Amino acid sequence: MGLFDSLFGKKDDKVKYFRNLKNAFGLVEIEGLKSVSDSRILEIYDQSKEAFVSVANSRQERISESQINGLARDLLMAEVNGNYEMMFEQMKSQSASGGINMIFFKGRTY
């Protein structure tokens, strides 16, 4: 266990987090996630974190871990539905042009 694992969570914790994520009704949040491998879940999480932290930094904005998790969740849903690449590009474009908070304005706008 690394020094920062207890503070920032191990990679396996992110897989468990997304696989066990429930909605307000206690139902599985991401239906069909069983078809996505653990390594792909981590890859999508890492890509989204890297991309959106980079956009936030370039615009001198902040992005929280909760926001990153929400964006990664949306991208995992897109992966299950077969449109991950398109969704990821739209989200990056929207956040780069309007800022990180713009992708949360009045719900998901990408």
Domain ranges of the chain: 5-104
Any idea which residue has 């920062």 for tokens?
A: 4
> Count of alpha carbons within 13 Å of 23, Cβ hemisphere only?
8
> Is pLDDT of 1 > 50?
no
Structure token pair of residue 30: 């991401």
Residues 74-92 have pLDDT tens digits of 999 999 999 999 999 989 9
- In tens, the pLDDT along 5-63 reads 444 555 669 999 999 999 899 999 999 999 999 999 999 999 999 999 999 999 999 99
Residues 6+ apart with CB under 8 A from 12: 38
> Rounded to whole angstroms, how far apart are CA atoms 79 and 77?
5
Token pair of 73 as six digits: 């969740």
pLDDT category of residue 100 using cuts at 50, 70 and 90:
confident
